[in-house]
A and B are shown apart, each in its own frame.
Chain A
Amino acid sequence: MTATLSRRAFTLAGLGALAAPALIRPAFAASGNVVAATFPGSWEDAYRSILTPMVEKAGYGLTIAPSLAQDQIARLMASPGQPPYDALLVSPGQSDILIREGLIEKIDPSRLKNWDLLSPAAQNEWGPNVTIEVNGIAYNPEVVDKPSGYRALFEDKQYEYNLALIGFGSNTATMAYTEINKAYGGSYDNMQPVFDLLEEYLPKVGAIATSGSNQMTMYQQGEIAVFMASTGNVAKLRELGLPCEFAHPETGSPSVPVTIHMVKGAQNPDGVYAYMDAAISAAAQVELAEPPTAMIPTNTTVPYSEVVSQFVTPEQVANAVYPDWQAINRHRAEWTETFDRLVVL
């Protein structure tokens, strides 16, 4: 039998095939799908494997969309009125911008079964804090000694050509620079001490990377041995079999809670509540506290895992340094520009 296809039928079939995804997607969305932005890498993998079944059990689909915190905001701003996500995962630096721009909305805690199990500090009216990211210094113990703090990185010769830096686009780096700045006599309104320090140190820097993950790639390749990192970064490198330790700066470890926000105009608010509830549940946080994510739990019924305990104690978390993100955001654009102009070859 011979099948014949006219040009017109071929064109129509082709156009039909092209249009099919657009026709199918709304139907899928209508069935209760939640699009949640998550940090790429181990966060993305863990949230997809641990939270998706829990959210599905609650009757909603969950699509994990990997995106860096700043990119999440950029994408939201790019499509006002048509948010690409229903839920966001960000730190206070970004939350401040999101609130100011009116891109997220306050939540109703009574919709979360696990709300009362959260530590009081994690009960954020703009969404639950799912973990606290503790930042400090990652170092290779086979190459350098444990640094006593940020100052040592710039003053002890053993760290020369081994230290990687990144710009003010990174939360971890921004927090480290503000702490270094304080140590050298600066303030949020006067970042000059840190820029003077960087200018002098540049010839001895190991690398200036473009992002936190770029730094981790450099570390894997043996290009650098020290960088500003979170405990999660160190857990990930250790899981890859690399020698990596975490050092708390003598001035205290800059820390940030990580929060899930409800996007204003989210297509499926009920699904977002189910996703939030899953993320703060004891069942999820017990698993997330294990490598490679090694997240510090915010659910008070979840004990610190063995790996988390190697990095931090509840006392250290209680004494952590919480930067003033409103002050940081006031200057961040100007600091970013100054840093770029300073380091460019």
Chain B
Amino acid sequence: MIRKDTLLAWPMIAFMVLFFISPLVLLAGISLHGEDGSWGLGNFAAFLSDPFARGVLTGTLALGAKVTAWVSLAALPLVMLYWHGGKRLRGLILICTLLPMLTANVVRTFAWVVLLGRNGPISQTLLGLGLTERPISFLFSETGLVMALVQIEMPLLLLPVFSVLNRADRKTLEAAEVLGAGRWRAWFSSIFPQIIPAVLAGWVLVFASATTSYVTQSVIGGARLIYLPQFVYREVGVLFQWPMAAAISILLLASTGVIMLGLTMLARHERLQGHG
């Protein structure tokens, strides 16, 4: 029997079923449709038995892992600054984190086209410092793509962490220091466990967003770095192979979904939540 206090949730549930679950089921159905009209797992088998396609799949997952790792490294100083900062500095960091999110992903991506180009500030700085002999371009390279994605996706990790830090109990840090822990050890043994679930949630978001970021991947990465979203687009927009595109989409969803599920389960682990 439906509980009365859940009634308000039903419009949203109906909306999700209609506009998210149903298309997903439809997508799964199309993916089973063979070129000759038969039904089965032929599209999945064709994709997975092709070394090139498998390379695209592993390359996409590797891109997500690299971006997640670099975002974590780049975010750490900001997290420390936020923790130690006063109200004004925290506000400033928060605004700087949120500001890029107020612009569209396309705008941020094209800003990176300017930054990474051979006439861009990164190349000119390297040239000015004498580190390179001629202007170099980071466009159409994985280095450039990872750099852009790290900046674009960073708020997805920072915001959940900041949210937890705002509520983190400083007394645990003081207790660790009173018990003789050094500053770093005190931080990593008292505050870090509190933010781990937020970090894992951030990783889920960063990984999912980086692996599916079609615009950034195609504009910064170019045609020589092929990831699954471009592969799907090619199947639909150039080859008109909808069933194969659906199969690749399902594989993308499944592979990123498994990793996200693993991270989510890790985040819910009782030891990471401080109950162990």
**CB of A65 closer than 8 Å to a CB of B:** no
The dominant DSSP class at the A interface is: helix
Are A166 and B223 interface neighbours, CB within 8 A? yes
**CB of B237 closer than 8 Å to a CB of A:** yes
**CB of A333 closer than 8 Å to a CB of B:** yes
Are B117 and A71 interface neighbours, CB within 8 A? no
Query: Which of A68, A70, A71, A343 meets B224, CB within 8 Å?
Result: A343
Are B240 and A218 interface neighbours, CB within 8 A? no
Q: Given A169-B234, A336-B234: A222 and B117 within 8 A (CB)?
A: yes
List residues of chain B with CB within 8 A of the CB of A344: 52, 55-56, 224-226
List residues of chain A with CB within 8 A of the CB of B239: 333, 336-337
Least distance between B67 CB and chain A CB atoms (Å): 17
Interface size range on B against A: 20 to 34
**CB of A99 closer than 8 Å to a CB of B:** no
In the docked arrangement, what's the CA distance between A175 and B226, Å?
23
Kindly supply a per-residue 1/0 record for chain B positions 92-130, scoring 1 wherever the CB is within 8 Å of any chain A CB and 0 otherwise.
000000000000000000100110011110000000000
List residues of chain B with CB within 8 A of the CB of A58: none
**CB of A121 closer than 8 Å to a CB of B:** no
Q: Given A74-B237, A333-B239: A167 and B223 within 8 A (CB)?
A: yes
Are B110 and A341 interface neighbours, CB within 8 A? no
Are B222 and A74 interface neighbours, CB within 8 A? no
Kindly supply a per-residue 1/0 record for chain B positions 209-244, scoring 1 wherever the CB is within 8 Å of any chain A CB and 0 otherwise.
000000000110011111000100010111111100
In the docked arrangement, what's the CA distance between A169 and B225, Å?
16
Are A70 and B238 interface neighbours, CB within 8 A? yes
Least distance between B44 CB and chain A CB atoms (Å): 18
Are B139 and A218 interface neighbours, CB within 8 A? yes
**CB of A7 closer than 8 Å to a CB of B:** yes
**CB of A56 closer than 8 Å to a CB of B:** no
**CB of A141 closer than 8 Å to a CB of B:** no
List residues of chain B with CB within 8 A of the CB of A116: none
Least distance between A87 CB and chain B CB atoms (Å): 20
Task: Give the nearest-CB partner of B238 in chain A.
Answer: A169
**CB of B276 closer than 8 Å to a CB of A:** no
Task: Give chain A interface residues in 70-118, CB to chain B under 8 Å.
Answer: 70-71, 73-74, 77-78, 97
Task: Give the nearest-CB partner of A12 in chain B.
Answer: B11
List residues of chain B with CB within 8 A of the CB of A7: 8
Least distance between A149 CB and chain B CB atoms (Å): 24
Task: Give the nearest-CB partner of A168 in chain B.
Answer: B238
Interface size range on A against B: 35 or more
Least distance between A67 CB and chain B CB atoms (Å): 10
In the docked arrangement, what's the CA distance between A251 and B11, Å?
63
**CB of B140 closer than 8 Å to a CB of A:** yes
Task: Give chain A interface residues in 184-207, CB to chain B under 8 Å.
Answer: 207
Query: Which of B11, B226, B234, B242 meets A15, CB within 8 Å?
Result: B11
Query: Which of B55, B140, B230, B241 meets A208, CB within 8 Å?
Result: B140
In the docked arrangement, what's the CA distance between A192 and B241, Å?
24
Task: Give chain B interface residues in 15-69, CB to chain A under 8 Å.
Answer: 52, 55-56
Task: Give chain A interface residues in 1-22, CB to chain B under 8 Å.
Answer: 7, 11, 14-15
Task: Give the nearest-CB partner of B14 in chain A.
Answer: A15
Are B218 and A74 interface neighbours, CB within 8 A? no
In the docked arrangement, what's the CA distance between A155 and B12, Å?
62
Are A340 and B234 interface neighbours, CB within 8 A? yes
**CB of B137 closer than 8 Å to a CB of A:** yes
In the docked arrangement, what's the CA distance between A208 and B224, Å?
6
Are A207 and B140 interface neighbours, CB within 8 A? yes
Say which one of A209-217, A241-249, A285-293, A308-316 lies at the interface with B.
A209-217
List residues of chain B with CB within 8 A of the CB of A168: 238
Are A340 and B226 interface neighbours, CB within 8 A? yes
Task: Give the nearest-CB partner of B114 in chain A.
Answer: A221
Are A345 and B224 interface neighbours, CB within 8 A? yes
Are A222 and B119 interface neighbours, CB within 8 A? yes
List residues of chain B with CB within 8 A of the CB of A77: 240, 242
Kindly supply a per-residue 1/0 record for chain B positions 132-146, scoring 1 wherever the CB is within 8 Å of any chain A CB and 0 otherwise.
000001011010000
Are B11 and A343 interface neighbours, CB within 8 A? no
In the docked arrangement, what's the CA distance between A61 and B241, Å?
34
Task: Give chain B interface residues in 119-177, CB to chain A under 8 Å.
Answer: 119-120, 137, 139-140, 142
From B142, B223, B225, name the one whose CB has the most chain A CB atoms within 10 angstroms: B223
Are B223 and A208 interface neighbours, CB within 8 A? yes
List residues of chain A with CB within 8 A of the CB of B140: 207-208
List residues of chain B with CB within 8 A of the CB of A209: 222-223
Are A214 and B117 interface neighbours, CB within 8 A? no
Given A221-B117, A333-B241, A344-B52, 17 other A-B contacts at CB below 8 A? A11-B8, A68-B237, A70-B237, A77-B242, A169-B237, A207-B140, A210-B222, A214-B218, A214-B222, A218-B139, A221-B139, A222-B119, A333-B238, A333-B239, A340-B226, A340-B234, A343-B223
Shortest 7 CB-CB contacts between residues of A and residues of B: A169-B238, A221-B117, A208-B223, A210-B218, A222-B119, A345-B224, A333-B239
Q: 14 A-B Cβ contacts within 8 A?
A: A70-B237, A78-B242, A208-B223, A209-B222, A210-B218, A210-B223, A214-B219, A217-B113, A221-B114, A223-B118, A340-B226, A340-B234, A343-B223, A344-B225
